[in-house]
């Protein structure tokens, strides 16, 4: 049974994915479509509700995305948010004007009686606003349902036509009752039944995978990251030993991580697990190389070569599976084509650029292609993947290769792995783990003078890096308490051979990047 569908029609707003995630958190399946999706296509998808996202500043700008007025004759319950709210008013004959004063941040609104959207919400509540235009006159048949000091039409509606609009952002957590308002729109206005549940997703996907795969084989490149791990577990549940997971250990993972991945997938799941121990091969290829870009290139190319050589040996006579997730393939309303044709592009963070020409598969399987990251994690937990893997922090494809400045040697990898393990252990003990987006140790390849007992030392400096961020485009260095830093420094110098000094990286991004190389 297909799920009921809600469409988030994307007008280029920054919160498009957040809206879709909130809808799914309400138990409603939701997909993001570009604003210029043909009406015939929208009708064919038969959505039970549509949400217009925010977008550029002004509906009067001809370059701004608009909507065919015939849309409103489709009779689909619609909620316009921010720009989407102004667009609804403008397209139906209302007036939009520039605010004398932009409203930005937490704003108080007051709502009147009788709106389904605000049922049970206190008359005065805080919402998140971010706009420079506002609706000054409503189209015929609409009524105002909420206002703020500077925004006379903070919410309005035409319940007969099931058209609703809010100038604020209910999807943002700063909107006190945002979740309730979305819930009312979905359940009361649109009549969704709430049939999007991860346990159903697993059962349905397993059935679909069995049908699709039949008695053929499937190969999957397992990196030990969240997405490929969950894809592997799902495929294992569906087809067991018809699945072969190929895990290339390039020797640049964190301490004992290769063994942990192997144990997890051989002990907990039914599949053929192939570990390619290519540590020596990578070290040889990287010998004498110090330039960061060159190192990345070599690691990427060798990963590709080693992986596909192994697939050739395993026999590529079935399907190829990969852990593509929904955000990898969303096309934004701004016309960003990233993710288009994702079925023939292997994710770059797996460091593979495509399938070699001499290898032909029966097809590509992407079992997580409709899920957001938090949903992938929920599926992973339900499938019994250990927490360490499901909640793993991001780890770059080139691994520790981008955290060892200068030439990569076996000795340096060992020092960095040991230091990183101590650092992570101390962060976990201090209870700081969930407040940090990413944290790791770096080996800057700098020797400094120190003293240990009566001896002078001349040994490695370790840098530690910890950041907080929402999207990794910008990041702030984490304010780890001094006493925790003191313990980390002590432990690193005492427990890790060849470390005699520790520095904490207090650079934000920009101007720094998260990784050192
Ligand atoms: P930067 O260093 O660019 O990192 O600020 C932002 C985020 O991306 C991760 N990162 C990578 N991930 N392949 C990946 O899959 C890479 O080559 C790569 N380089 C950086 C980094 O760990 C951080 O989370």
Domain residue extents for the chain: 5-189, 198-390, 409-504
The atom number, within ligand 1, closest to the CA of 437 reads: 24
339-389 residue pLDDT tens: 333 333 333 444 345 899 999 999 999 999 999 999 999 999 999 999 999
Q: Which two tokens stand for residue 273?
A: 């697990």
Q: Which two tokens stand for residue 457?
A: 């030392």
Instruction: Give the pLDDT score at 503.
Output: 98
Beta-carbon count within 10 A of 69 CB: 10
CA distance 215 to 208: 13
Instruction: Give the pLDDT score at 337.
Output: 36
pLDDT above 50 for 58:
yes
Instruction: Give the pLDDT score at 340.
Output: 35
- Whether 5-189 and 409-504 share one fold: the answer is no
On whether the CB atoms of residues 202 and 379 are closer than 8 A, the answer is yes
Closest-CA residue, ligand 1 atom 19, reads 396
482-505 residue pLDDT tens: 999 999 999 999 999 999 999 999
% of the chain residues with pLDDT over 90: 89
Closest CA to 283 of 196, 168, 377, 412: 412
The atom number, within ligand 1, closest to the CA of 402 reads: 19
On whether the CB atoms of residues 103 and 81 are closer than 8 A, the answer is no
Residues paired with residue 436 on neighbouring β-strands, in sequence order: none
pLDDT above 60 for 212:
yes
Instruction: Give the pLDDT score at 504.
Output: 98
Write the CA distances from 138 to 85, 111, 131, 194, 507, integer angstroms: 11, 16, 17, 32, 49
Burial track 73-103 (b if 16+ CB lie within 10 A, e otherwise): eeebbbbbbbbbbbbbbbbbebebeeeeeeb
CA of 411 to the centre of ligand 1 (A): 24
What are phi and psi for residue 443, nearest 5 degrees?
-110, 100
Instruction: Give the pLDDT score at 342.
Output: 32
CA distance 164 to 153: 12
Extended strands (E) in 243-352? 243-249, 272-277, 319-321
Residues 6+ apart with CB under 8 A from 269: 232, 233, 236, 237
The pLDDT-based confidence of 30 (bands split at 50, 70, 90) is: very high
| Binding site membership of 84 for ligand 1 (Cβ less than 6 Å) | no
Instruction: Give the pLDDT score at 339.
Output: 34
The pLDDT-based confidence of 56 (bands split at 50, 70, 90) is: confident
Q: Looking at the domain 409-504, which fold is it?
A: GMP Synthetase; Chain A, domain 3 (3.30.300)
Instruction: Give the pLDDT score at 458.
Output: 98
CA of 27 to the centre of ligand 1 (A): 32
| Binding site membership of 472 for ligand 1 (Cβ less than 6 Å) | yes
Question: Which 3 state secondary structure label does DSSP give 72?
Answer: helix
Residues 6+ apart with CB under 8 A from 270: 236, 240, 241
Closest-CA residue, ligand 1 atom 3, reads 513
The pLDDT-based confidence of 153 (bands split at 50, 70, 90) is: very high
412-439 average pLDDT score: 97
| Binding site membership of 401 for ligand 1 (Cβ less than 6 Å) | no
Q: Looking at the domain 198-390, which fold is it?
A: Rossmann fold (3.40.50)
Determine whether 131 is an active site residue.
no
> In CATH, what is the architecture of 5-189?
3-Layer(aba) Sandwich (3.40)
| H helices present in 224-256, as ranges | 226-239
CA of 396 to the centre of ligand 1 (A): 5
Q: Which two tokens stand for residue 442?
A: 């770096």
| Binding site membership of 438 for ligand 1 (Cβ less than 6 Å) | yes
Residues 6+ apart with CB under 8 A from 259: none
Determine whether 25 is an active site residue.
no
CA of 498 to the centre of ligand 1 (A): 27
CA of 323 to the centre of ligand 1 (A): 18
Instruction: Give the pLDDT score at 331.
Output: 67
| Binding site membership of 509 for ligand 1 (Cβ less than 6 Å) | yes
Determine whether 169 is an active site residue.
yes
Strands 49-52 and 5-10: parallel
CA distance 214 to 216: 6
Name the residue of 347, 514, 516, 517 whose CB sits within 8 Å of the most ligand 1 atoms, as the mutation to test its pocket.
514
CA distance 86 to 81: 8
On whether the CB atoms of residues 189 and 164 are closer than 8 A, the answer is yes
% of the chain residues with pLDDT over 70: 95
441-477 residue pLDDT tens: 999 999 999 998 889 999 999 999 999 998 888 999 9
Closest CA to 300 of 230, 359, 252, 231: 252
Instruction: Give the pLDDT score at 352.
Output: 45
Average pLDDT across the chain, whole number: 93
pTM for the full model? 0.88
278-306 residue pLDDT tens: 999 999 999 999 999 999 999 999 999 99
On whether the CB atoms of residues 29 and 4 are closer than 8 A, the answer is yes
85-141 residue pLDDT tens: 999 999 999 999 998 888 899 999 999 999 999 999 999 999 999 999 999 999 999
**Distance of alpha carbon 462 from the chain centroid:** 30
**Three-state SS letters, 362-413:** CEEECCCCCCCHHHHHHHHHHCCCCHHHHCCCCCCCCHHHHCECCCCCHHHH
Question: Which 3 state secondary structure label does DSSP give 110?
Answer: strand
HSE-CB at 246 with a 13 A cutoff on CA atoms is 25
Selecting among 169, 184, 350, 460, the annotated active-site residue is 169
C-alpha triplet 251, 257, 261: angle, nearest 5°: 110
């Amino acid at each position: 049974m297909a799920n009921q569908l809600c469409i988030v029609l994307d007008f280029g707003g920054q919160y498009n994915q957040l809206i879709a995630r909130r809808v799914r958190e309400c138990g409603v399946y939701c997909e993001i479509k570009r604003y210029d999706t043909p009406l015939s296509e929208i009708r064919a998808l038969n959505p039970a509700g549509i949400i217009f996202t925010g977008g550029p500043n002004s509906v009067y700008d001809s370059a701004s995305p608009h909507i065919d007025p015939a849309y409103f004759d489709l009779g689909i319950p619609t909620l316009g948010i921010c720009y989407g709210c102004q667009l609804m008013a403008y397209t139906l004959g209302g007036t939009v004007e520039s605010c004398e004063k932009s409203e930005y941040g937490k704003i108080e609104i007051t709502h009147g009686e009788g709106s389904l959207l605000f049922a049970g919400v206190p008359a005065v509540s805080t919402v998140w606003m971010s706009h420079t235009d506002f609706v000054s006159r409503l189209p015929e048949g609409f009524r105002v349902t909420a206002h703020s000091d500077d925004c006379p039409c903070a919410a309005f509606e035409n319940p007969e036509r099931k058209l609703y609009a809010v100038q604020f952002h209910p999807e943002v957590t700063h909107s006190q009752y945002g979740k309730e308002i979305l819930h009312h729109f979905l359940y009361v206005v649109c009549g969704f039944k709430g049939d999007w549940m991860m346990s159903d997703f697993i059962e349905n996907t397993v059935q679909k995978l069995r049908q699709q795969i039949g008695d053929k084989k499937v190969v999957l490149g397992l990196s030990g990251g969240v997405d490929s791990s969950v894809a592997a577990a799902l495929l294992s549940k569906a087809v067991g030993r018809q699945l072969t997971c190929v895990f290339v250990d390039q020797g640049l993972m964190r301490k004992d991580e290769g063994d942990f991945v192997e144990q997890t997938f051989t002990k907990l799941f039914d599949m053929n697990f192939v570990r390619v121990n290519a540590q020596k091969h990578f070290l040889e290829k990287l010998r004498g190389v110090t330039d960061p870009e060159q190192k990345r290139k070599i690691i990427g190319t060798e990963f590709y070569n080693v992986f596909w050589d192994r697939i050739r040996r395993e026999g590529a006579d079935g399907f190829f599976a990969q852990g593509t997730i929904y955000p990898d393939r969303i096309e934004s309303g701004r016309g960003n084509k990233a993710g288009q044709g994702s079925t023939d592009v292997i994710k770059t963070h797996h460091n593979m650029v495509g399938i070699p020409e001499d290898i032909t598969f029966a097809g590509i399987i992407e079992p997580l292609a409709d899920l957001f990251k938090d949903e992938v994690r929920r599926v992973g937990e339900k499938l019994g993947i250990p927490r360490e893997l499901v909640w793993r922090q991001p780890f770059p494809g080139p691994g520790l290769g981008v955290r060892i400045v200068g030439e990569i040697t076996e000795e340096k990898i060992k020092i960095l792995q040991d230091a990183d393990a101590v650092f992570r252990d101390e962060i976990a003990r201090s209870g700081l783990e969930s407040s940090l987006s990413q944290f790791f140790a770096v080996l800057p390849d700098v020797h400094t003078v120190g003293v240990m007992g009566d001896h002078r030392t001349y040994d490695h400096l370790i840098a530690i890096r910890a950041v907080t961020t929402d999207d990794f485009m910008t990041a702030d260095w984490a304010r780890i308490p001094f006493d925790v830093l003191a313990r980390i420094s002590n432990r690193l110098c005492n427990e890790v051979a060849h470390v005699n000094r520790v520095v904490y990286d207090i650079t934000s991004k920009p101007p720094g990047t998260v990784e050192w190389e």
